[in-house]
Amino acid sequence: MRTLLTTLFFSSMIIAVQAQTTLTGLVKDSKTGEAIIGANIFVKGTYDGASTDIDGDFVFNTFKKDTAIILISYLGYETQEITQLLHSDTLNMEIHLVAQISELDMVVITAGAFEASDEKKAVILRPLDIAMTAGATADIAGALNTLPGTQTVGEEGRLFVRGGDAYETRTFIDGLLVQKPYSSSVPDLPARGRFSPFLFKGTMFSTGGYSAEYGRALSSALVLETQGLANESITSISLMSIGGGLGHTKRWDKSSLSVSADYTNLKPYISLVPQNIEWEKPVSSYSGQAVFRQEIGTNGMLKAQASVQSSGMTMLYPDMNQVEELLPLSLDNDNYYANASYSEILNEKWSLDAGFAYGYDKEDIIQDFELHRTIDLLQGRLKTTYYPNDQITIKMGSEWMREQFDESYRPDEDTSFETNLKSNYSAAFAEAEAYLNPKLAIRLGVRGEYFGLLKEWDVTPRLSVAYKSGTFSQFSLAFGQFYQQPEFDALRYGAPEKPEKATHYILNYQYTRKKRVFRAEAYYKQYQDLMTYEADQPWILDNSGEGYAKGLDLFYRDQELIRNGDFWLSYSLLDTKREYRDFPELAAPTFASKHNFSAVYKHWLGKINTSIGLTYSYASPRAYNDPNTDVFNEGETAAYQDLSFNASYLTNLFGQFTVLYCSVTNLPGFDQSFGYRYSASPDENGLYTASQIEPPAKRFFFVGLFISIGQKFEN
Partner 1 sequence: MKQLTLFIIAIVFSISSFAQSEQYINAMEGALSQMKEAEEYAAFKQVSNVFERIGMAETTEWLPSYYQAYCNMNMAITQMQEGDMEACVAHLDKAQSALDQANERVESNSELVAMQGYIYQGRIWSDPQVNGPVYAPKSMQALQQAIQMDEANPRPYHLMGQNLYFTPAMWGGGPQAALPHLEKAATAFENFEPVSSIYPSWGEAFNTRLLEQARKKLEAAEKE
Residue 661 or 700: which CB sits closer to partner 1? 661
486 binds partner 1 (CB under 8 A): no
Considering only 33, 89, 684, 712, the residue that binds partner 1 (CB under 8 A) is 712
**199/173 Cα distance (integer angstroms):** 10
40 binds partner 1 (CB under 8 A): yes
CB of 713 to partner 1, least distance (A): 5
CB of 515 to partner 1, least distance (A): 10
Residue 43 or 141: which CB sits closer to partner 1? 43
Considering only 61, 73, 310, 408, the residue that binds partner 1 (CB under 8 A) is 73
Closest CA to 502 of 187, 157, 217, 188: 217
CB 523 within 8 A of CB 208: yes
CB of 40 to partner 1, least distance (A): 4
CB of 232 to partner 1, least distance (A): 4
Residue 71 or 366: which CB sits closer to partner 1? 71
Closest CA to 519 of 595, 561, 566, 572: 572
What are the backbone angles phi and psi of residue 128, rounded to the nearest 5°?
-65, -30
Considering only 6, 7, 8, 392, the residue that binds partner 1 (CB under 8 A) is 8
CB 623 within 8 A of CB 588: yes
CB of 558 to partner 1, least distance (A): 16
Considering only 29, 30, 35, 51, the residue that binds partner 1 (CB under 8 A) is 51
Neighbouring residues of 274: CB distance < 8 A, sequence distance ≥ 6: 697, 698
Give one DSSP letter per residue of 176-232, joined into a string: EEES--B----TTS---BSS-GGGEEEEEEESSS--TT--S-SSEEEEEEE--S-SS
Considering only 2, 3, 5, 66, the residue that binds partner 1 (CB under 8 A) is 5
Stretch that binds partner 1, among 206-214, 261-269, 592-600, 707-715 (CB under 8 A): 707-715
Give one DSSP letter per residue of 686-710, joined into a string: S---EEE---SSS--EEEEEEEEEE
Q: How many CB atoms lie within 10 A of CB 157?
A: 19
Residue 602 CA: distances (Å) to CA of 20, 562, 633: 63, 10, 38
Residue 74 or 317: which CB sits closer to partner 1? 74
Over the window 200 to 239, marking each residue x when it contacts partner 1 by CB under 8 A and - when it does not, the resulting string is -------------------------------xx-------
Neighbouring residues of 171: CB distance < 8 A, sequence distance ≥ 6: 177, 178, 181, 222, 224
562 binds partner 1 (CB under 8 A): no
Give one DSSP letter per residue of 115-135, joined into a string: EEESS-SS-SB-HHHHHT-TT
Q: Residues binding partner 1: what is the number (CB under 8 A)?
A: 36
Q: Which of residues 588-647 bind partner 1 (CB under 8 A)?
A: 609
Residue 60 or 292: which CB sits closer to partner 1? 60
Residue 40 or 84: which CB sits closer to partner 1? 40
**528/547 Cα distance (integer angstroms):** 7
Closest CA to 504 of 178, 172, 221: 221
46 binds partner 1 (CB under 8 A): yes
**622/593 Cα distance (integer angstroms):** 5
286 binds partner 1 (CB under 8 A): no
CB of 65 to partner 1, least distance (A): 16
Neighbouring residues of 315: CB distance < 8 A, sequence distance ≥ 6: 186, 277, 278, 279, 280, 281, 328, 329
Over the window 639 to 668, marking each residue x when it contacts partner 1 by CB under 8 A and - when it does not, the resulting string is -----------xxx--x-xx----------
Considering only 128, 320, 326, 371, the residue that binds partner 1 (CB under 8 A) is 128
**391/435 Cα distance (integer angstroms):** 5
CB 639 within 8 A of CB 619: yes
Residue 128 or 304: which CB sits closer to partner 1? 128
Residue 628 or 711: which CB sits closer to partner 1? 711
What are the backbone angles phi and psi of residue 145, rounded to the nearest 5°?
-65, -10
Strand order in the sheet with 200-206: 113-117, 200-206, 220-226, 169-173, 176-178
**160/149 Cα distance (integer angstroms):** 8
38 binds partner 1 (CB under 8 A): yes
Residue 412 or 714: which CB sits closer to partner 1? 714
Stretch that binds partner 1, among 40-48, 322-330, 336-344, 395-403 (CB under 8 A): 40-48
713 binds partner 1 (CB under 8 A): yes
Considering only 32, 33, 47, 94, the residue that binds partner 1 (CB under 8 A) is 47
Which residues are at the interface with partner 1 (CB under 8 A)?
1, 4-5, 8, 37-38, 40, 42, 44-51, 71, 73, 75-76, 118, 126, 128, 231-232, 609, 650-652, 655, 657-658, 711-713, 715
